[in-house]
Amino acid sequence: MATQPFSSADAQFAIAAVREASLLARRIQREMVTGALTKDDRSPVTVADFAVQALIAYRLADYAPSATLIGEEQADALRGSENAGTLRQIAAFLQSSIPSVTADEVCSLIDRGGGTPPATFWTLDPIDGTKGFLRREQYAVALALLQDGKVELGVLGCPELSLPAVGSNAVNSMGKGMGKGNGTIAAAARGSGSWSQPLDESTPWQRLAASARKNSREARILRSVEKAHTNVDEISQLAAKLGTSAPPVGMDSQAKYAVLAAGEGEVMLRLLSPSRPDYREKIWDQAAGSIVIEEAGGRITDLDGKPLDFSHGRTLARNRGVLATNGQLHEAVLGALRQLGA
């Protein structure tokens, strides 16, 4: 255990910002996500996405005024009169953290996430796992610092994930919401390992270590719940090819990356959906989670075994899909994917 495994100012800023943002996201979820939501009602996650991005943009501007933030959201839609109510809700939630913030300032803060990435920048997914957020299951606030196309620091805030509560078989239920508790912060810095701590700081940091399993028949596969994000049929075929009998576990967001880094799974896949064969991952969907896995001893590449290349703007334009493993099984899974033509 360690009281504070990260000494750099950047790491301490990122952890504090993600912790604060995760607690804000949890508050919005608990106050706005109700049984009365309609099937297509995304208003709670819309409020949370914008509020979290504005909060982290504000904290980053205070910490490093010249720093660049590349975020998922843009405020254009909020400026229309039809969305004035949503903008007021966002400002009201933010005022618990930034008492003086106005609606106009909210839009300006959100728009700090636009533009083209320079050599060094931060990237943010304010609410990774929209459906998980709306189902009160897994979602994450994901913040990373990149330099020259390489992730140097990543922090995941997972308000519905409680890693210390996970047993050797609990991952099979976690995608359904098991493991809820204080929530988790998972953080990694290049060369400093991966660590986790409860969101409420109730216990010290614990080092994360990927699973040591080498037998592909024992592999536990994690995948997205949303079918549009992956090829569910090919994942089932991959499981059969590897000889694993455990059914793939559906879980939203980069919370999967924290679970894999904690040794509670061996394989995580983002195969190309048949409906979106040319899709390329957004940098904010992978940056923070990728370093958490690598620093825990795991490995992450695209489906062709190439390292993830974050140096081509807002997408992983040179990569096809994503494969993360405990490291021990990576080559075996790549080989199985080649046999399947995935």
- Of 39, 37, 117, 38, the closest CA to residue 71 belongs to 117
Q: What are the angstrom distances between the C-alpha of 97 and each of 92, 123, 175, 276?
A: 10, 21, 31, 39
What does DSSP assign to residue 118?
A: -
In one letter, which amino acid is 21? A
309 carries an active-site annotation: no
Q: CB of 167 within 8 A of CB of 179?
A: no
Secondary structure letter of residue 315 according to DSSP? B
- 49 included as an active-site residue: yes
Question: Which tokens hold the place of 235?
Answer: 């994942």
Residues in the chain: 342
The string of DSSP letters for 162-186 reads -GGG--TTTHHHHTTTTT-SS-EEE
Token pair in block for residue 40: 């297509």
User: Which residue out of 123, 130, 230, 301 is catalytically annotated?
Assistant: 130
Give the Å distances, CA to CA, from 43 to 27, 158, 213.
14, 20, 42
Three-class DSSP category at 302: coil
Which of 46, 49, 123, 285 is labelled catalytic? Answer: 49
Active site residues: 49, 130
